[in-house]
Structures are given as C-alpha cells and as structure tokens.
Amino acid sequence: MSRRPDRMFAQELQIIPPKRDIARWLFCLCGFIALIVVVGGTTRLTDSGLSITEWQPVTGVIPPLDQPSWEAEFAKYKQIPEYTRINKGMSLAEFKRIYWWEWLHRLLGRMAGVLFLVPFLYFLWRKRFSARDIPHMLTMFALGGAQGALGWYMVKSGLVDRVDVSQYRLAAHLGMAFFLYGYIFWIALGYLHGSKANRTQITVAGSGSLIWLSKLLCLLVFLQVLLGALVAGLDAGLTYNSWPLMDGRWIPKGLWLETPAYLNLFENITMVQFNHRVMAAIIALVALWSLLAGFRAHVPGRVKASILLTACVVAGQFALGIWTLIAVVPFKLAILHQLGALLLLSVTLIQMRAVRQWRSGRALEPGTAPG
C-alpha cells in the first residue's frame, strides 16, 4: 500500500516532452491562415467576393484559360444583383481584376488543406502523435472544412437579393477564421515547450486574478473581431469619421432606430460602430488592469514580458483603429488593422499560456511549458 502514493506522485510529476517540429508546422499553418485572412480582407475591400458565382471545390482551382471561358464567367456574374444594380457596364478587363482576388482567396483556402493534411500524414507515419494529440488534429481538420463551407454559404447570401454578402455570415466566416487560427496557435504553444501530463496546479499568490484577466482578454478580443466584421459588412467605418466623439456627441443619436430593438446591435450602422468603439475601450482598460495586476503580483520576468507585450499591442491596435477611422478606411490601414487583430489574439494567447505556466508553480525555463 505504501508504494501507491509514490507511484501517484511520480505520475503527477510526469512531463510530456516538447514536440518542436510539430509546433513549427502549426505556427507555419497559422502564418498561412493569416495570409488567407489578408487576402480575404482585400477581397472584401475591393468588392471582389461575388465575382465567382459557383462553388466547385475541385475543378474551381483552374481559372479561365481562354477568351470563351472568361466570357462564360462574366456572363454568370452579369446575372447577380451586384452587377445589375452597381457594376452594370463593367468591362471584361475590370471583371478580371475582381475575379483574380476571389480566385486567389479560394485557392489559398484549398492550399491550407494540403498544408495541413500532408504534414499530418507524415507525422502520423512517423508516430509523432500520441493518443491525446489526435482529437486536436481532427478538430483542426473539421474546422478547416467547415470554414470552406461557411465561406460559400456567405457568398450565396449576395447572389440573389443583395448587392453584397450578409454581415451576419461575414461575421461568422471571419469569426471562424480567427477561432481556427487561435485554436491552432494555442495547441502549437503547448507543443513548443511540452506540458504536464496531469491537470494539477499549484496556487501562486496573485495568480487567480491574472488567469481570469488573461481569459477575459482573449474572449473580448474575439468578440471585437465579430464586431469589426459587422462594421465591415455594413461599411459602418465610412461614417462618423471622428474620434472620440461621434457627430459631436459621446453617445450619438440614432442608436435605437430599428425594431425590434435587438436588430440595432447587428443592422444599425450607428450602433455597430459605437459598439466597436466601446469594446476597444473596454479591451484597453482590461489590458491595463492586467498589467497592473501583473506588476503587483511580482511575476517572473517572462510572464511580465508577455503581459507588457499584450498591453503594447493593445495600445498599438487602438491607435491604428483610430487612424483608420479618421482616414475613412483606406485600403492599407484597413489591412494593417486586420493583421493587428490577429497579432493581438496571438499575444493574448501567449500571455494566457505564460500565466498558466507561472500558476502551475514550475520554473519558467526553456523546455518547460504550461499545462
């Protein structure tokens, strides 16, 4: 009987070693997803998203290669409301410019599937995955497939009665992209250093507030991405181009024009932009709170650096958002702001990993990592 507690104690101290080759692969995949997000944002900003009116997952990888093929694609585009109400009279050369952006966006999505599947099968063949790794890999694959289907579901909303895609479906599509990116990034952080085999944690003074503040920051950043998608979907950034006041007021008029009232949260341009501004301020305050809590708790240097990094990125993204708004959403600033959102999500995840590692009571040295 005396040996059983010893065995249990040894199990609690068991460490799962790092798998840095898998981590590098997943980080590269995150970088590729970031590229897809940038091209998707470009597609949105250039009004290119409805230029391809069919979903052909396999044959669609081949673009039109001759004049008759281009004419056939253009003829399909001429049947949708975006052409008949906005772009009537567009030349074939102008159509080609918007077509290539949408085609590239879809091509990159297909390539992401290959960049996941081929290394996955290689690592599986080399027996680099444990039983606990497989569910994570299958989840990534399922989310990637769902994202492709969701993208087509979004495009369909602009092919019949609308001249653009539904802001609801746009928010869902962008939200899924950020969720997939965040999930892969989080798992990659675990592979980078390794993890504890069990879930037991040692309470460190001051760690409780920091862990929930870190979780709150991640959640708020994700919600802000969804709000930003609504702003983009309604072109709400093209109005109220001043800061901090909106039309000379802290709380603008016209927040509750829609009925029923809840529709104002999703369909009222004034309310949508106002909510995006308010959420930005809330994130800034929570980041500052987290920074102060970290310094009061006398956290180790690595944890303090992650908290400080998050605060700096929040400040930069906040300033970039103001600049983008005042400049009336120029293309380059809009893309940088979208990239800033990905960077912000990344650093909040890094902070949460670092805080969890510190909370576990283990030394913060290379080769160790959070549970």
pLDDT (tens digit per residue) in 145-202: 999 999 999 999 999 888 889 999 999 999 999 999 999 999 999 998 765 544 444 4
Single-letter amino acid code for the residue at 2: S
The domain tally of the chain equals 2
Residues 140 and 239 in one domain: no
Residues 210 and 328 in one domain: yes
pLDDT at 161: 87
Q: What is the mean pLDDT of the chain?
A: 88
pLDDT at 367: 37
Single-letter amino acid code for the residue at 315: A
* 10 part of a folded domain: no
pLDDT band of 17, cuts 50, 70, 90:
low
Residues 138 and 286 in one domain: no
Which residues form the domain of 331? 204-371
pLDDT at 271: 97
- CA-to-CA separations, 145 to 57, 81, 105, 215, 277, in angstroms, rounded: 11, 28, 15, 27, 33
pLDDT at 99 over 60: yes
Residues 288 and 184 in one domain: no
Residues 290 and 157 in one domain: no
pTM exceeds 0.75: yes
Residue 47's contacts (CB-CB under 8 Å, 6 or more residues apart) are 82, 98, 164
Could you give the angle at the alpha carbon of 230 between the alpha carbons of 228 and 233, nearest 5°? 110
* 1 part of a folded domain: no
- Local structure of residue 260 (DSSP, 8 states): S
Interval 18-39 mean pLDDT: 94
DSSP 224-241: HHHHHHHHHHTTGGGS--
Interval 231-239 mean pLDDT: 94
Residue matched to tokens 């590269």: 28
pLDDT at 6 over 70: no
* 3 part of a folded domain: no
Among 147-156, 200-209, 330-339, which stretch is predicted with the lowest mean pLDDT?
A: 200-209
Residues 176 and 212 in one domain: no
Give the integer Cα–Cα distance in Å for 24 and 192: 8
* 350 part of a folded domain: yes
In the structure encoding, which two tokens stand for residue 291, read together? 């920074």
In the structure encoding, which two tokens stand for residue 354, read together? 């670092």
Residues 221 and 163 in one domain: no
* 4 part of a folded domain: no
Residues 212 and 96 in one domain: no
pLDDT at 12 over 60: no
Residues 23 and 170 in one domain: yes
Q: How many CB atoms lie within 10 A of CB 182?
A: 21
* 264 part of a folded domain: yes
Give the integer Cα–Cα distance in Å for 306 and 310: 6
DSSP 274-316: HHHHHHHHHHHHHHHHHHHHHHHTT--HHHHHHHHHHHHHHHH
Residues 179 and 88 in one domain: yes
Residue after which a domain boundary falls, among 177, 195, 213: 195
* 69 part of a folded domain: yes
Residue after which a domain boundary falls, among 195, 223, 244: 195
Residue 208, phi then psi, degrees to nearest 5 = -60, -50
Residues 330 and 182 in one domain: no
Interval 51-59 mean pLDDT: 89
pLDDT at 4: 42
Residue after which a domain boundary falls, among 168, 195, 222: 195
pLDDT at 86: 92
Higher pLDDT, 53 or 6: 53
Residues 352 and 212 in one domain: yes
pLDDT at 122 over 80: yes
pLDDT at 368: 37
* 268 part of a folded domain: yes
